[in-house]
Structure 1
């Protein structure tokens, strides 16, 4: 997806949020916002996709505030909250659809997205959303394509439920490659999170999307092992909006299953699915 004025407003609000997480004073916050907006303006109208521009802006914000991982406490909190709920509900997850639904509910752990709030009571929220089910459900068709899977993770918190879904796929004969972020950016899951939850013990290959602090997927930056896995896979399971914003722009991909909560109007407009929907959509 390309950058729009709405995307710019949301992106800059995230920069301010990052400054707050790092306890930046008003002068440093103003300087950071100015530097990030100048960088953003220099990239507008180029061929860069939204995730590539957002990644550059967030790297600049972290450089200005002197903190490479301002979301660290929120990531730890999200993982802890999700783990508690996971222990409560995992016995309720019986089939592929249940595991996908749990993973999509986990995708709501996404901070500073305009118009979206992370719940303060995830246990009750999970129960309510699980009862409602998916708003778009292509899970039967997705599962039929899951002999060789490349699984692109997104946020902390939800990665707890990703682990259950990957485990389910492995138990049912899938070969699974899991890719996490190469370095901290926003509250996205990194290798440290993946190792903490045992992805190395269940995935056939655990790797990163490459490029350092980079959201989405940039084919020019991904490591050779991930590129090879994508060339051989029968499906990509893509978690979250940034991965959607990248992959939806690329041709010559295998089938892609987009698993996410639609948290902004731009994604809603692009997918034709209302904001707030929980979706598992297969695009071939």
Structure 2
């Protein structure tokens, strides 16, 4: 997605916090912070938000000598969701089936998407299942999935992935073959391939690595296996803002169901919802849709 002015201080704020809370000496923190400022100073009105976020995070990992700065946050997120949210969710949906179950699970996954320390204001380990949908195309998405043979499910955050597991189980019960797409290396609190397997997703889906630690499915960063999964799927379910921002730059030839919480003005404006609202939004294939999303 093309950068907005407020994206620059937003990215720097997140990266600066990662550096300042690291264990490296203060002298080294200064060098890393100035390197981040230099990287962001090269941005122009045509820069990509998702590429800037990726490159600056790589600088943080290199500068702090920590390949996974959010390791503990991810573990705590999974524990929080497993112990406190999933029991409530399962009780809430136990009498639901079909479309109603599908929609309720997606809304719950959007609520858990609030566990996102890479976005200012979303750093706390707390979840509320109540979320307002500013855009709801879940019925059309469900009808597409009922006719699908193969679906790619692109994961986002830890914690959230445990709710995604419930969606994947539902898709399997519908007779759909599911390929789960997870980061090959750590990016913020996103789920890696190894973590997706540990959470049990490989029992219900084929788990595929993206090929890198890029924030989203960026062309040039995706593995051949990930590209093959995307190109052969009937429908793609893309979780989170990073996937949305990536697909603003290139659109697959298959329908994409975006499931996210719009945590900032640029993404909210692009999706057509208010800041803080959730969205289940359908992106039509590149050859079939209009120029606007």
Question: Which residue of structure 1 aligns with residue 6 of structure 2?
Answer: 6
- CA shift for structure 1 position 249: 1.9
What do the CA deviations read for 1:103-148 (whole angstroms, capped 9, x no partner)? 111111101412x3345543xx22xx0xx55332111110111212
Q: 1:168 to 1:14 in 2, by over 3 A?
A: same
- Structure 1, unaligned stretches of length 5 or more? none
- CA shift for structure 1 position 183: 0.3
Question: Which residue of structure 2 aligns with residue 277 of structure 1?
Answer: 277
Q: Larger deviation: 140-149 or 224-233?
A: 224-233
Question: Which residue of structure 2 aligns with residue 60 of structure 1?
Answer: 59
- 2:199 maps to 1:197: yes
What do the CA deviations read for 1:15-73 (whole angstroms, capped 9, x no partner)? 1111133234433222211101212333x239652212211111011111111111111
Distance 2:252 2:200 in 1: 32
Aligned to 1:167, which of 145, 152, 169?
169
Distance 1:264 1:151 in 2: 23
- CA shift for structure 1 position 76: 0.7
Question: Which residue of structure 2 aligns with residue 153 of structure 1?
Answer: 155
Q: 1:47 to 1:135 in 2, by over 3 A?
A: closer
Distance 1:7 1:238 in 2: 21
Q: 1:16 to 1:176 in 2, by over 3 A?
A: same
Question: Which residue of structure 2 aligns with residue 110 of structure 1?
Answer: 116
Question: Which residue of structure 2 aligns with residue 21 of structure 1?
Answer: 21
What do the CA deviations read for 1:197-253 (whole angstroms, capped 9, x no partner)? 1111101x210112x221111122212222122222121111101110001221353
Distance 1:252 1:12 in 2: 30
Question: Which residue of structure 2 aligns with residue 239 of structure 1?
Answer: 239
Give 4+ residue runs of structure 1 displaced > 6 Å after superposition.
none
Question: Which residue of structure 2 aligns with residue 134 of structure 1?
Answer: 133
- 2:99 maps to 1:100: no
- CA shift for structure 1 position 158: 0.5
For 2:69, what is the secondary structure of its paired residue?
coil
Alpha carbons 2:152, 2:235 under 8 Å: kept: yes
For 1:135, what is the secondary structure of its paired residue?
strand
Alpha carbons 2:184, 2:209 under 8 Å: kept: yes
Distance 2:251 2:159 in 1: 31
Question: Which residue of structure 2 aligns with residue 187 of structure 1?
Answer: 189
Question: Which residue of structure 1 aligns with residue 249 of structure 2?
Answer: 249
Distance 1:71 1:120 in 2: 12
What do the CA deviations read for 1:150-170 (whole angstroms, capped 9, x no partner)? 111111110111111111111
- Structure 2, unaligned stretches of length 5 or more? 285-293
CA RMSD of aligned residues (A): 1.8
- CA shift for structure 1 position 88: 3.1
Q: Larger deviation: 249-258 or 101-110?
A: 249-258
- CA shift for structure 1 position 171: 0.8
1:255-270 equivalences under 5 Å are 255-270=255-270
Distance 1:47 1:6 in 2: 14
Aligned length: 274
- CA shift for structure 1 position 100: 0.9
Distance 2:180 2:236 in 1: 10
What do the CA deviations read for 1:71-110 (whole angstroms, capped 9, x no partner)? 1111111111011111332232231111111111111110
Distance 1:51 1:111 in 2: 16
Alpha carbons 2:51, 2:215 under 8 Å: kept: yes
